[in-house]
A and B are shown apart, each in its own frame.
Chain A
Amino acid sequence: MHDEIVDALKGHNADYVEAHFEESESTRISYRSGRLEEVNRTYSTGGNVRALVKGGWGFVSFNQLDGIRDKVALAVKEARLASGEEFKLPSAEPVVDVATQFHPDPWISSGQALNPLPSRERRESASVPLAQKKQVLDEYNDIMLSTGKIQTSRIDYHDVRRRVVFANSEGSYIEQSKPDLTLRLTAIARENNDVQQAGLSLGSRGDFAAIGGRHEQVKEIAKRAAALLSAPEAKGGEYTVILDPILAGVFAHEAFGHLSEADFVYQNEQLRKIMTLGRRFGGKQLNIVDDATIPDLRGSYKYDDEGTPGAKTYLIHEGILVGRLHSRETAAKMGEKPTGNARAISYRFPPIVRMTNTFIEPGNTSFEEMLSEVKDGVYVKDWYGGQTSLEMFTFSAGEAYMIRNGKLAELLRPVVLSGNVFVTLNNINAVGNDLKMNQGGGCGKGGQSPLPVSNGSPHIKIGHCLIGGR
């Protein structure tokens, strides 16, 4: 296969050509109305070629893998039509590497685990029999349904085993394995016409064992959904808020991570001025990092989809903007170094600048200290989701409590938090000492969703945060 691909990329009148081929196999199991409803399995092969001619890109994706030479020719023709201002991709040493094993990952020893899990047997999800997957989900489902006031449950399980081949006209040839697993559990409580829900999102880099033994957590979400039926709504307005590690991780991703993606910045003079390296964005205690090299997280990989090695990139160091995330093109156009953040969700899409594992580094304040400083505020935990328009962000807490005189008070209905990134980062006035990574969820951008990422943070305290409510 190597020789065929390498040959097909040769001899085209283009500045650069690359190709991706992919084979994947996935299992999806879903429960609705409190019972197993769907099991399906999918097998897919496909590929794409991308060509660059004088600054214009052509991209061709396909399921029929024959006639690669013709496909490259079509991509080159398209690129020529789109050509305009020429730029040079940063020079890169060709990489030839085959890194397809699930375990042990040959590169795992290079990074350092953030919060090492208790030692247990890893299991590649694709090789776990359906019956065993169902048994674990059945147990969780029974726990939810046996909780009072829980009307129904939803479960969405998805695992995928994926092998990706990358080759380019510079001589790189890389094979990688990119497994992924996600599990979302939702308990739905109902009383009269009032419906409330609480959920748990889990994920791993294809390791089935990572979603086992969560019975206590599942019980908790079921109880919380029921409790929300009698919880009051937050009154809208500005509050001091404490974010738990899960929600603070979503904040790091939504509020700052996206702004650090160079494709938003590189062609925008105004935004380039705002995002000048060296500019202060927050207090000295604030450090935000994107790191693809941490072992065993959903956003981790050895090479990105342009063949650039994954890296650890400081975005904010001691409150100051020090870096951003790049593809080869954005790095070239901004005169900076590629960071290995060009990613595509599948062969149907060209790689674009994306995050990997994004987190706020731990500081030294304990949660108890943080809480004791708040007279009237809100403690927000867990998440439904988040969205950003670069300047403004919103994220939704799945669980919220009033804080009164330094103590947690009543449970509130889920709240939506919103704010201006630039103001809010400056308003982070305490960073906790309890970093946790969250492996649930995924990221969407440019029509490509969901991309496996993880995010994390310790508890953080933010002043003057806007909460929507009635």
Chain B
Amino acid sequence: MQLAMIEQVLGSAQKVAEQAEVFSVSSHETPVHFEANKLKQIQTKESSSAALRIIKEGKVGFSAASGPGGAGKNGSPSRPSPDKERGGRGSPFYLSLRGRGISRDLINMAVETSLFGNAAKFQLPWLGSYPEVSVFDSGVEKMTTEKMIELGNRLIAKVREHSPDILCDVELTKGVTSIRIINSQGGEASYDKSFFSVALEGVLIQDTDMLFVGDSESSCRVPDKVELVADRVIRQLELAKRRATVSTKPLPVIFTPLGVASAFLSPIALAFNGKTVLEGASPLKERLGELVFDRKLTLWDDASLEYCLGSFPCDDEGVASERLSLIKNGVASHFFYDLQTAALAGIRSTGSGRRASGTGQVKPAISSLVIDQGDIAFDSMVEDMKEGLIVEQLIGADQGNLLGGDFGGNVLLGYKVENGKITGRVKDTMISGNVYQVLKEHVGVGHEARWVGGVLRTPCLYCPCLSVSAR
């Protein structure tokens, strides 16, 4: 969105409100999509949108719009007039290839919602100096579509060399997002973030038996070794070659980094969210400073890591980013907050204000979660088990009582361990547990960590006893 346009929106908003803020985001991305081992579709996605937040008579008003900029000539959707485009069919819509402009819509809708808005407990910050956080790499823009197609073909060829019958879907995406924030306190925050991601999903089918494998890499840079994704998938295929069964009983379980993301990410992120805490719905409410988890567990919410997708110099409210400790040696140490929730809690924002889907309303959210490495090798964990389970991927894990810390689901990809050896893939198996019980003590922490989905860096976690149901 043009700077002139967002400045004009801010100027108009300041005339009707005590405080105002305009957040604008534009992005350009190119996904290259392979389906069933073949190149299928190439896309170009351009988008630009803006959100306006005002504080009027002490209350928050909010609106967002995307589309052609400018004041528009047709007025606002809040005050419909006959549809000129379609010769007065009675619809108040104005869809026209010239666009009607969104500036006035933003102001009118924000004023309207402020009548019902929440009381603002915060002051917008002055948009000033921010830490250096590298999130842009020009190498991403230089990556050509042709080169991406070649990379995709190479990954598929490598996996098929191992398993000729596999059907792979691959998506490679490159892009750049530009963020700009201005507000009535003055100053400006803006940055560009580049991103590149590769995801591979494969399925092998024999009769009605389906084996799903998959992995991904994403970062602000083009990874040096895209082949890593294929290597990991091949390892999954190798371990899943044979079949094994488990019976219904408590068993020790190793969660691989993918498994940790699948089982624990949602309930943990929810419990440390300042908003959940203020609602009184977090089981960790009033437990800061207490030993809640195993002493070997240390967890950070880190927005300052170089070239990580979750990193940024400032959050979506213009508050400087930081590295925040959530769990320190098992002790719950901090919750994460945006401006409003921090003010309600009587502390300062942790720079965790994020807007859902581009220009949604600000809420506290994680940047990158990082679990510190421990001292146990994956092989030692496996050797330690007489009978046990390794979990890579769950389905339906987010459907239980997440607020209460429950996790569980069907093991989409997992392996059986017998007498210290991986014996094959399990099916028709469910696990269930509660993070506050399972991670409370006797957790083994792996000595190697990796990124999963660009938002979590974690080692393997070894839990000595978990409910397993099988048919």
Contacts and interface: CB of A to CB of B under 8 A. Distances in A.
A236 B432 contact: yes
Interface in A109-162: 130-131, 134, 151-152, 154
- Binding site secondary structure of chain B: mixed
A65 B280 contact: no
Interface stretch (A10-18, A77-85, A318-326, A428-436): A77-85
A392 B64 CA distance: 40
Contacts of B146: 81
The 3 closest A-B pairs by CB, nearest first: A394-B396, A236-B469, A45-B67
Interface string B159-189: 0000001010000000000000000000000
Interface in A83-108: 84-85, 98, 100-101
Contact of B408 (A5, A68, A131, A468): A468
A386 interface: yes
B380 interface: no
B184 to A, nearest CB: 19
11 contacts: A39-B113, A39-B117, A43-B67, A65-B67, A98-B89, A130-B113, A151-B281, A193-B436, A236-B248, A420-B427, A468-B409
Contact of B401 (A62, A65, A197, A238): A197
* Most central of B91, B209, B212 by chain A CB within 10 Å: B91
B31 to A, nearest CB: 9
B49 A416 contact: no
A65 B361 contact: no
B95 interface: yes
Interface of B: 35-36, 38-49, 60-68, 77, 85-86, 89-91, 93-100, 102, 105, 109-110, 112-113, 115-118, 145-146, 149, 165, 167, 203, 205-210, 212, 248, 275, 278-281, 283, 359-361, 395-396, 398-401, 403-404, 408-410, 412, 427-428, 430-433, 436, 467-471
A78 to B, nearest CB: 4
A218 interface: no
Nearest to A4: B97
A271 B205 contact: yes
Interface of A: 1, 4-5, 21-23, 25, 28-29, 32-46, 56-66, 68, 74-75, 78-79, 81-82, 84-85, 98, 100-101, 130-131, 134, 151-152, 154, 163, 165, 177, 188, 190, 193-197, 236-238, 267-268, 270-271, 274, 348, 350, 384-396, 413-414, 416, 418-420, 422, 464, 466-470
Name which of A23, A63, A130, A464 has the most chain B CB atoms within 10 A of its CB: A63
A61 B46 contact: yes
B414 to A, nearest CB: 12
Contacts of B281: 151-152, 188, 190, 195
Given A56-B42, A392-B428, 16 more contacts: A21-B95, A41-B63, A44-B67, A59-B41, A63-B46, A63-B67, A66-B99, A78-B42, A82-B42, A154-B279, A197-B404, A267-B35, A267-B38, A391-B209, A416-B399, A470-B432
Nearest to B205: A270
Contacts of B36: 267-268
B404 A194 contact: yes
Contacts of B360: 40
Given A62-B46, A66-B97, A81-B146, A40 B396 contact: no
Nearest to B359: A42
B91 A163 contact: yes
B363 to A, nearest CB: 9
A390 B210 contact: yes
Contacts of A190: 280-281
Nearest to A58: B42
A389 B401 contact: no
Contact of A418 (B35, B116, B409): B409
Contact of B109 (A41, A66, A177, A464): A41
Contacts of B395: 387-389, 392-394
Given A43-B109, A396-B400, A467 B96 contact: no
A39 B93 contact: no
A201 B370 CA distance: 35
A60 B396 contact: no
A416 B67 contact: no
Contact of A40 (B62, B86, B433, B467): B62
A464 B428 CA distance: 12
B47 A43 contact: no
A63 B91 contact: no
Contacts of A5: 97
A138 to B, nearest CB: 10
A389 B212 contact: yes
A43 to B, nearest CB: 5
B47 A46 contact: yes
Nearest to A71: B44
Nearest to A177: B91
A37 B276 CA distance: 13
Contacts of A348: 45, 47
A394 B99 contact: no
A38 B118 CA distance: 7
Contacts of A152: 279-281
A89 to B, nearest CB: 15
Contacts of A41: 62-64, 109-110, 112-113
B95 A58 contact: no
B428 A420 contact: yes
Nearest to B403: A195
A468 B278 contact: no
Given A39-B116, A238-B471, A60 B43 contact: yes
Nearest to B45: A61
Contacts of B94: 23
A21 B68 CA distance: 13
A165 B205 CA distance: 40
A400 B112 CA distance: 43
A466 B48 contact: no
Contacts of B409: 387, 394, 416, 418, 468
A386 B396 contact: yes
A34 B65 CA distance: 28
A38 B203 contact: no
Contacts of A131: 116
Given A1-B95, A43-B67, A395-B399, A59 B38 contact: no
A229 B40 CA distance: 51
Contacts of A238: 471
A29 B61 CA distance: 12
A33 B278 contact: yes
B40 A56 contact: yes
